[in-house]
Amino acid sequence: MYPILPVLVALLASLYAAYSDLKRGIIPNRLTFPLIGLGILLDAIFSYNMGDPLFFAFALIFTGMIFMICYIF
């Protein structure tokens, strides 16, 4: 069974980000940075439940790479 919490959080955050972007032309950092932290926390919990610490290491590496690429843009 796929956990519904990450999907629900991502959906609500995306809706708020789209609304904010359309209304003000910017997505606030007070939304993006906590969501990055929440994503890392959920990856850590998922990795712990799977018993695979390598999954969490890859998740951190990919999160950092995506952040750097998106920050440039």
Quote the longest CA-to-CA distance of the chain. 43
> Which residues, 6 or more positions from 40, have their beta carbon under 8 angstroms from its beta carbon?
59, 60, 63
Which DSSP category does 51 fall into? T
Model pLDDT, residue 61: 92
In this structure, are residues 44 and 56 in contact, taking their beta carbons and an 8 Å threshold? yes
Does the pLDDT of residue 55 top 50, yes or no? Answer: yes
pTM, two decimal places: 0.71
Q: What is the mean pLDDT of the chain?
A: 87
Query: Would you place residue 2 in the very low, low, confident or very high pLDDT band (cuts 50, 70, 90)?
Result: low
